[in-house]
Amino acid sequence: MARKGKKKAVQPPSPAADEHNMTEEESIDEEMKEIVDGAGESESESEGSDDEGESKTEGDKSTDTKSKRNNSNANKTSTTIPFMDTFYLLSSEDSSNERSIAARDLIHHCFFTDGGINYKDSAYALDRLFNGVCSGRAASRQGFASCLASFLRVAQSQGEDDFKTILKEHSESKQTDLDDAHPAIQIRQLLRETTDFDTVANGSGKSSGSNKNRFAGKVKGIEERDHVFGRLFGILAVVRSGMLKSAHDEVRSLYLYDVIMTGMR
């Protein structure tokens, strides 16, 4: 009985709980599997139900389960969250389920609409996700980091060419020179630019460097802390996405270096 009580206690979101982040990420992945597989399953199941007719057998339980899943899929489809609203709901403190649904609809909009991959919105979403892990508002780090990990995983599954097209679409607005680099290198550069918490300034007080560091000059302690945590959560999302599995040892070493240096802040 004590164990059952513990399981129920895990339900409320805990911003610092690494185990909860993994659970939320798995929930997003389950949502995405339903989107990808739902159409084919619903067609085959509807054909099977027509053939069965009025006969009731032991398979009724599994049929009922499938129909419930199809009904839930239909309800989810009919209440799709608008793309721009998903970013706000990724910070929801109400429940991890609400964040998972927002992440599902964001990823669906970017990768699984009728027109195929929406490269422009995918690049925009990637930018917003990296900015989101730097936010201390509500459950932003949890929601955005979990969504980022799933987003990167789905982006890889589309093929390296499509993934690079998304990154190229993003780099055109950011003016980076890493179009031919491995996606993990490009993602690292994007993460470093977004979470750049160093106070670099020239004599005139203006930021130096090509990325126009928006934190040049004096940075409030809480703001720097948010971006330190943002970099760590971003790196964790990259690792969980599986992106580093196909990367060279040198690339993995760079991410390890980032973790060490960030931890020394």
Per-residue pLDDT tens over the stretch 140-176: 999 999 999 999 999 999 998 999 899 988 876 554 5
Tell me the mean pLDDT in the region 119-129: 95
Residue 10: Cβ within 10 Å count: 13
* Tokens, residue 159: 């093929």
> Is residue 224 in some structural domain?
yes
> Is residue 210 in some structural domain?
yes
Distance CA 194, CA 189 (A): 9
Burial of 212 (0-12, 13-18, 19+ CB in 10 A): exposed
CA distances from 250 to 187, 239, 254, 260 (A): 15, 15, 6, 15
> Is residue 9 in some structural domain?
no
Lowest mean pLDDT, pick from 53-57, 79-83, 86-90, 255-259: 53-57
> Is residue 64 in some structural domain?
no
Counted domains in the chain = 1
CA distances from 28 to 85, 90, 103, 166, 167 (A): 17, 12, 7, 21, 22
CA distances from 52 to 46, 65, 160 (A): 10, 16, 44
Whole-number percent of the chain with pLDDT over 90: 40
* Tokens, residue 67: 């129909």
CA distances from 224 to 176, 199, 210, 231, 265 (A): 24, 10, 20, 11, 9
Which pTM does this prediction carry? 0.67
> Is residue 54 in some structural domain?
no
Tell me the mean pLDDT in the region 115-127: 93
State residue 83's pLDDT score: 95
Residue 203 has pLDDT above 90, yes or no: no
DSSP 263: H
Q: Which residue range is the domain that position 232 belongs to?
A: 18-35+75-263
Which SS3 state, helix, strand or coil, does residue 116 take? strand
Distance CA 261, CA 191 (A): 14
Question: N- to C-terminal Cα distance for the chain?
Answer: 44
Residue 127: Cβ within 10 Å count: 15
